[in-house]
Structure 1
Amino acid sequence: MGDYKISDIYQGGYSSLNPEYSSLFTGYRVKDTSTIGVSSDPRTANILKDVSDKLSTGQKVIELSMIDLGTPLDTISKQQLEEVNRLSKLTGVDITVHGPIVDASGITQQGVFDDAQREIIERKLINSIERSQQLNKDGNISVTFHTANSLPGAMWSKTKKGEKILAMPVVNQETGQLSMAREEEKYYPHPVPVKGERSGEVVPVGKPVIYTPGETIKIMNDTKWSNDLDQVEFNRQHANKLLEEIHPIFIGRYLQWKEHEYNPDKVPNPNIEPKEYEEIRKIYTANAYLNESQRKVNALFDDAVKYSPPEKKEELKKLANEYTKILVDGKNNPKVESDAIFMLTQRLSSMESPKIFLPAEEYALDKTTQTFGNVAFDSWKRFGGSKKAPIVNIENPPAGFGLSRGEDLKNVVQGARKKFVEIATKPKREGGAGLSESEAKLEAEKMIGVTWDVGHINQLRKFGFSGEDIIKEAEKIAPLVKHIHLSDNFGMDNIELPMGMGNVDLKEVMEKLGEKGEKAKKIVEAAHWWQHMQSSPYAVTLEATGSPIYSMGMAPYWNQAIGLQQGYLGGLEGQWLPQINYETFGTSFSNLPMGLGGQHQATGRGRFSGTPME
């Protein structure tokens, strides 16, 4: 017999023997398909029908999107939640929840931080926890919340030299108003020694001094502090000019008059002569200037206490005692009061400016951790501890929003856990749980974790970040991950496609998340796929993640499924003999099973005349 070679009938077809095949396959293989699910439609309140429809795909986990966008959370009745709970028990499906997308920091739609608004948001999140518990009263249902929704983030730029912040939002802590600090260039008519981040440099005349956003914020604080102190001194000097024109004897008469005003029964009326009124009137005018200075310097001292580092508090306390002693010893003498104000302003001006203007994300971090810490403890206390209470999982919003990077999310979770511990260790009579610190820390770790959205963080690419940079972001939060959201995009916009259709490096990201990522529920968020393709992304996700077709966990995998061939009695369908085969070559039979040579019913026409065969 001569040598011969059997070749594929159709060259370039799918190979069912290649476990790495498929343009969708991401290289990361999810062995346990029960950890993969899709989210419900956030636009409908009929979640029972939506969940029932999605169960037909065979998935074992579904996330209810109660995100409060388009359809308010309160339109979902408690009966719907109870029926979904029954359905999940009957089918053995796990339910998770995506809670309302709000700003836990309390920033309003007008861009103002408001603590009253933060408390409203906290109650809203607690309400969503209560409603989520109806879906699983016997276990820890995962409830996901974003760190932020409308809070703006820093404007980053990634170059060969490293990361750079071009602009960052700034909050005035006194008013809650937002502004923007940008990188600025300023020219001066003299050489300028550079301070702060580049201390030691001297910029010559003709070249701009470049201020980073961080340095711009310091300039904002220094300028405000200096201007406010100047206003105090302006009023004090006006008072001094008037007092210098007045003879000390009239000041004495003025003090007698004031004592009579305060204690008319004990201090007799000094009976000031008409010719003395002009001088006394000047003293009253000077005193009005001093009162304004006093009011302003009191406000500045309050700012110094509130917005200066903790180590400055003791120094400020000593300064306050010294100032008070001078005023008491002066017994309402306006000259003594003027000297006391001068002393206080001089000492305040020598101190570092209070941080009234603060990076908005730094300010929001404190408020956000307070909210999530309170919500998690309320869940723990209300529903019987960490064995049954809904878990608070905090998600990174799309890159570009505030608190959206790996380090931000890590700080939010750790801060919320710290707040949980602070409350839990308080005595029960004070609203706590009376736990030891070690017990409280353990419970906090169980109750608060991370939902890592691989599509959201991928949008760092629009700032110049590489795939390697984004993988490092995942590494920062890996130990905290309890839940994962899967969506693909190209890094430019908040687009949600199934995995394998964009440039998210899923394999590398999941490798960094390790065992926690492998065990976590993975919810496919593919809104734009639903919108345009009108089909579930579950099947293509199984293909993208190379999940095994059979429960034994071995080959073949879903990324190979498109190349698998049916047997002869199945009609040799698929890539082996596609419909075009029948349309091209036809058959001599009609209405017979394909296994016996019958023609595809879809065509219904012969190959010659084009008329129906019957």
Structure 2
Amino acid sequence: MNFGSNYFNEYYHALDRDYGQVEPSDIPSAPGEPVDTSNLGPREIGTSTNPMAHQTTSFAEKIRAGASKIELSFLGQGKTDSQRPGPEAFGRRDREDIRGLADINKIRTSVHASWHGGSLAGLGKEGFSDQMRQQAITEIERAIHFASEATKGGAVVFHTGEWQRPITDVRGGFRGYPDEEKTTPIMVVDSQTGDVNAVRRDQLVFEPKFYTAAEYEKVLRRPLVGKTDSQGNTIEANDWVNMKGEAIKREWVVSKNPEEVEKLFDRVPVWNAAKTNFEVEKRNYDFFKDEAERLSKKTDKTISPEILFFKSQLADQVSQSKGQSLYYAQRYDDYKKAADEIRKALAFYNSIEKNIPEEKKWELMQQKGFRYLDINKFVLPRNLLPSEYLKEELKEAEDHMRHVHEASASADARAKQVMDRMNRVETIKNYGLSKTAETIGTLGVKAMKFTDTHRKELNEPIFIAPENWRPEEYGSHPDEIGNIVKKSRENMVQQLVKEGYGEEAARSKAKEHIKATIDVGHFNMWRKHFEAREGETSMQREKRFNKWLLKETKKLAEEGLLGHVHLTDNFGYDDEHLTPGEGNIPMKEFIKNMEEAGLDDFIAEPGSFNPNTMMADTWALMGSPIYSTAKAPTFRSVHEQHFGYHNPATYIVGAYAPSNEWRLWSEVPME
């Protein structure tokens, strides 16, 4: 079929069915006309190969279907098989064939890497792990290597799914389920080990009640609030205090200064004489949220409630260990002094006993009963020489000291260990985002180096293209995918500067080789979590979400963070890959925004039932005609007339045709 400018001159004549002004009624209608006819067409909007097929065969098939932009897709990871092949399953001959087909047919290319098994930050069942992160790097590097040898350059796409976080915490008015903000867990990370600690938000905790400065004034019977203590701190009414009435600031709970943290354990708990115990206070997550907000305003630093929550709990553990240590160690000096004196006395009496005849030693003997057992009234005391008596006393003193060594020193070690953990507690967002950025930054450097090695064979640079994915995971919200790209570029700049690049050159390279893939179908899955306002109708809510989607995606494009676009449609529930225009995404407006921002790299990803119609139907949605000198049928009508056979022929042939002798009563032909 001729899609060139002479289409009508060579093939279109009076015997064609659709000759004239009106197309036959059985040609499927296009899904509405676009607001403005787009300049995007087959050169800019392509499709993807079948990830479960041989890529050379599937690539050629898409070319024959008319594609000028093709994304090679993979599913298998590690050692793959014929049903789910990975990039490494295709050797040099296949790679040369794919590149040759792309060269001859002037195809623009991109690659969708295999699912890398999890978080780019390395989050697994046991927490964050550099081993897990390396597995993701290796899987994506295989796709980069494949792209450098089999394609003409372009995007290497992979999903982001960094860690789960409450949907209600993200900007925009979303909720995962009722009471999500009250029950979802809060998580922090040990920055040294990568271990993740979590607790439900509705879990209650109990803490000792400590005197504030305002309360302790009554105990000391002197004013404290407004005074300056010996350390130069102005005492505020809500500050904790030590027994001397000196300030212990509440923000020191999250301090990195060891001296400030150490002072937390001088706080004075409130004693309840009537109940013979110390008072405790019940806390929930909302308390720490309000406290974090107050301290953030006071210190002009961002203090997260989860950090405050976990550090407060760790501080209580330190206090407990320090209390145990103090309990065992309070008489340690007495035991040590006694042991030293006993050793001196033992040396003295040993020398005396050596010079006394055996028959005279009885004169030195002392009686010793049983100290801890109430049996002395029934059992005669023992007669011991001074050296024997002192040896038993020395052993007892040393046993006391050994008990203190083992109990008190271990408690001090536990306290020190927990204090060290307090300094290593970090939000999962800060820790995870830094690891994700490190992964993508490393992959960006690899993409740059593969591009430099194969520059002669490539039409455009290979760039890393992280893609937004499930709303339940970090990286799916517009703010999150934007942060990932920005932080990853910063990380790549740091790596390149270490290799000797200048700052400006490094930034240019990072911008060239790290760009996001935006999947509008994935963004549309936020629709089901979009909360309606009070009194808002369903239609109004839908319109407001569409406005949000268009605004946020346009912002990403205008900030220069995007390089690749996936076009799929759905109804906001799941990623069904409907043909663009068949769901409820404001697809035409979205594509127009992307086009105005300068993007021209679009892939219409087929789903279960539209692999053969996805591309042509998307072209039809854009109003792209088959080029001619007059109004022509759209790609949809051409595809469905000539390839899909949805329109019946105007005559019957073969076994279906009746014999020449057979006639209907009306003598009208069967056709």
Could you tell me the TM-score, scaled by structure 2's length?
0.62
CA contact (8 A) 2:468 2:476 kept: yes
Question: Which among 220, 237, 240 is matched to residue 326 of structure 2?
Answer: 237
TM-aligned CA deviation for residue 279 of structure 1: 0.6
Structure 1 residues 364 and 254, CA gap change in structure 2 (3 angstroms): farther
In structure 1, the residue matched to 2:168 is 156
Deviations 1:30-67 (A, max 9, x none): 533201111111112x1111111111111101100024
Question: Which among 40, 60, 70 is matched to residue 52 of structure 1?
Answer: 60
SS at structure 1 position matched to 2:168: strand
Q: Which runs of 5+ in 1 are unaligned?
A: 1-12, 203-213, 256-270, 308-354, 427-431, 567-573, 583-593
Distance (whole Å) between structure 2 residues aligned to residue 192 and residue 168 of structure 1: 16
CA contact (8 A) 1:235 1:292 kept: no
CA contact (8 A) 1:159 1:464 kept: no
CA contact (8 A) 1:95 1:135 kept: no
Give the alignment of 1:205-604 within 5 angstroms.
217-218=306-307, 220-243=309-332, 246=335, 248-250=337-339, 273-307=391-425, 355=426, 358-359=427-428, 361-384=429-452, 389-426=461-498, 432=499, 434-464=500-530, 466-478=545-557, 479-516=560-597, 518-530=598-610, 535-550=612-627, 556=632, 558=634, 561=637, 599-601=651-653, 604=657
Distance (whole Å) between structure 2 residues aligned to residue 451 and residue 161 of structure 1: 24
Distance (whole Å) between structure 2 residues aligned to residue 363 and residue 42 of structure 1: 34
Structure 1 residues 551 and 280, CA gap change in structure 2 (3 angstroms): farther
Q: Percent of aligned positions with the same letter in both sequences?
A: 20
Distance (whole Å) between structure 2 residues aligned to residue 305 and residue 191 of structure 1: 25
Distance (whole Å) between structure 1 residues aligned to residue 198 and residue 628 of structure 2: 55
Distance (whole Å) between structure 2 residues aligned to residue 25 and residue 185 of structure 1: 55
In structure 1, the residue matched to 2:132 is 117
In structure 2, the residue matched to 1:76 is 90
Question: Which among 151, 154, 159 is matched to residue 141 of structure 1?
Answer: 154
CA contact (8 A) 2:41 2:622 kept: no
CA contact (8 A) 2:318 2:416 kept: no
TM-aligned CA deviation for residue 88 of structure 1: 1.1
TM-aligned CA deviation for residue 288 of structure 1: 1.4
Structure 1 residues 236 and 168, CA gap change in structure 2 (3 angstroms): closer
In structure 1, the residue matched to 2:105 is 91
Distance (whole Å) between structure 2 residues aligned to residue 66 and residue 235 of structure 1: 59
CA contact (8 A) 1:229 1:297 kept: yes
TM-aligned CA deviation for residue 175 of structure 1: 5.6
SS at structure 2 position matched to 1:279: helix
Distance (whole Å) between structure 1 residues aligned to residue 293 and residue 487 of structure 2: 37
Structure 1 residues 521 and 296, CA gap change in structure 2 (3 angstroms): same
CA contact (8 A) 1:39 1:524 kept: yes
Q: Residue type matched to 1:303 in 2?
A: R
Q: Residue type matched to 2:314 in 1?
A: W
CA contact (8 A) 2:69 2:108 kept: yes
Distance (whole Å) between structure 2 residues aligned to residue 176 and residue 453 of structure 1: 30
CA contact (8 A) 1:104 1:122 kept: no
Structure 1 residues 364 and 161, CA gap change in structure 2 (3 angstroms): closer
Q: Residue type matched to 2:44 in 1?
A: T
Deviations 1:244-264 (A, max 9, x none): 663634367899xxxxxxxxx
Q: Residue type matched to 1:121 in 2?
A: A
TM-aligned CA deviation for residue 115 of structure 1: 1.3
Distance (whole Å) between structure 2 residues aligned to residue 22 and residue 471 of structure 1: 23
CA contact (8 A) 2:185 2:201 kept: no
CA contact (8 A) 2:167 2:175 kept: no
SS at structure 2 position matched to 1:384: helix
CA contact (8 A) 1:529 1:537 kept: no
Number of equivalent positions? 483
CA contact (8 A) 1:24 1:543 kept: no
Q: Residue type matched to 2:565 in 1?
A: I
In structure 1, the residue matched to 2:187 is 170
SS at structure 2 position matched to 1:184: coil
SS at structure 1 position matched to 2:51: coil
TM-aligned CA deviation for residue 459 of structure 1: 0.2
TM-aligned CA deviation for residue 482 of structure 1: 0.8
In structure 1, the residue matched to 2:5 is none
Q: Residue type matched to 1:233 in 2?
A: K
Distance (whole Å) between structure 1 residues aligned to residue 618 and residue 158 of structure 2: 24
Structure 1 residues 508 and 529, CA gap change in structure 2 (3 angstroms): same
Distance (whole Å) between structure 2 residues aligned to residue 33 and residue 159 of structure 1: 36
User: Cα RMSD over matched residues?
Assistant: 4.4
Distance (whole Å) between structure 2 residues aligned to residue 378 and residue 457 of structure 1: 29
Distance (whole Å) between structure 2 residues aligned to residue 48 and residue 244 of structure 1: 82
TM-aligned CA deviation for residue 378 of structure 1: 2.2
TM-aligned CA deviation for residue 367 of structure 1: 1.1
Structure 1 residues 105 and 200, CA gap change in structure 2 (3 angstroms): closer
TM-aligned CA deviation for residue 303 of structure 1: 2.5
Distance (whole Å) between structure 1 residues aligned to residue 168 and residue 591 of structure 2: 25
TM-aligned CA deviation for residue 101 of structure 1: 2.1
SS at structure 1 position matched to 2:433: helix
Deviations 1:136-194 (A, max 9, x none): 3xx53321122227x33433389997779733662542664556655538699999897
CA contact (8 A) 2:441 2:492 kept: yes
Q: Which has the larger radius of gyration?
A: 2
Distance (whole Å) between structure 1 residues aligned to residue 289 and residue 402 of structure 2: 49
Deviations 1:263-297 (A, max 9, x none): xxxxxxxx984431211221121111232133223
Distance (whole Å) between structure 1 residues aligned to residue 148 and residue 403 of structure 2: 67
SS at structure 2 position matched to 1:550: coil
Question: Which among 188, 191, 202 is matched to residue 184 of structure 1?
Answer: 202
Structure 1 residues 290 and 160, CA gap change in structure 2 (3 angstroms): closer
CA contact (8 A) 1:144 1:395 kept: yes
CA contact (8 A) 2:291 2:305 kept: no
CA contact (8 A) 1:107 1:113 kept: yes
TM-aligned CA deviation for residue 27 of structure 1: 4.1
Distance (whole Å) between structure 1 residues aligned to residue 411 and residue 454 of structure 2: 55
CA contact (8 A) 1:26 1:505 kept: no
Q: Residue type matched to 1:155 in 2?
A: I
SS at structure 1 position matched to 2:145: helix
Structure 1 residues 382 and 543, CA gap change in structure 2 (3 angstroms): closer
Structure 1 residues 108 and 408, CA gap change in structure 2 (3 angstroms): closer
CA contact (8 A) 2:292 2:304 kept: no
Question: Which among 105, 111, 118 is matched to residue 120 of structure 2?
Answer: 105
SS at structure 2 position matched to 1:492: coil
Distance (whole Å) between structure 1 residues aligned to residue 504 and residue 42 of structure 2: 36
TM-aligned CA deviation for residue 395 of structure 1: 0.9
Question: Which among 121, 144, 148 is matched to residue 129 of structure 1?
Answer: 144
TM-aligned CA deviation for residue 304 of structure 1: 4.0
Q: Residue type matched to 1:405 in 2?
A: H
Distance (whole Å) between structure 2 residues aligned to residue 529 and residue 250 of structure 1: 88
Q: Residue type matched to 2:657 in 1?
A: G
TM-aligned CA deviation for residue 424 of structure 1: 0.7
TM-aligned CA deviation for residue 524 of structure 1: 1.1
Could you tell me the TM-score, scaled by structure 1's length?
0.68
Structure 1 residues 247 and 80, CA gap change in structure 2 (3 angstroms): closer
TM-aligned CA deviation for residue 562 of structure 1: 7.7
TM-aligned CA deviation for residue 234 of structure 1: 3.5
Distance (whole Å) between structure 2 residues aligned to residue 464 and residue 281 of structure 1: 68
